[in-house]
Amino acid sequence: MKSHRWILAIILLFAASAAVAQDAWNHKNVSRFLVLPAFANQAVFDQETDLVWERVPNAGAFTWNQAQTRCNNLILGARMGWRVPTIQEASSILSIGVPPVNLEAGHPFGVVAGWLGQAIWTSTSSAAVPANAWTLNMAGNTMPLAKGALAHCWCVRFRQGPDAQ
């Protein structure tokens, strides 16, 4: 009889854990984005991806190398460790079909006006043309762009230190 109680307790614990994980993934009763006081409210934690994004991206335009340097030197909330996101990370923040800016309703980002059609650098180089890197815009369009061209930059950080790709 005691073993049945133990098994029942394990099943109930597993079911509760699965329900919490599903709610976090589906955003039911959970805010996806959290402004981080520990970063002086200058960064936002994405609970779906565990990435931390700068809350207000720089409005300037940069070459790909300049974007890398900007993120590598960025200090927000007295913390370094920032980098240019991969194409997968950058696209994960968008909600497709939510115009004009494809970010979830209620997002806390200070996205620069006019970024809808503007390219944002990613760290992902083009496999076909290594002199190009993938860019993304707020409408969800992706395209490779020459690394010497100008595009915007939105820095991210994660628990890992080295480049993700």
Phi, psi angles (nearest 5°) of residue 11: -60, -45
d(CA 66, CA 47): 29
Which whole number is the average pLDDT over 100-106? 73
3-state secondary structure 71-132: HHHCCECCECCCECCCHHHHHHCCCCCCCCCCCCCCCCCCCCCCCCCCCEEEEEECCCCCCE
Q: What is the pLDDT of residue 114?
A: 72
42-54: pLDDT as tens digits: 999 999 999 999 9
- Residue 116 reports pLDDT greater than 60: yes
- Copy the structure tokens of residue 16: 């509760």
Closest CA to 76 of 37, 39, 34: 39
| Residue pair 85/46 in contact by the 8 Å Cβ criterion | no
29-72: pLDDT as tens digits: 578 999 999 999 999 999 999 999 999 998 899 999 999 999 99
- The larger pLDDT score, comparing residue 116 to residue 20, is at 116
| Residue pair 150/58 in contact by the 8 Å Cβ criterion | no
Instruction: Locate the domains of the chain by residue range.
Output: 1-30, 32-157
pLDDT confidence band for 102 (50 / 70 / 90):
confident
- Residue 98 reports pLDDT greater than 80: no
Closest CA to 88 of 151, 164, 157: 164
Question: Of the CATH numbers 3.90.380, 1.10.10, 2.60.40, 3.10.100, which one belongs to the domain with range 32-157?
Answer: 3.10.100
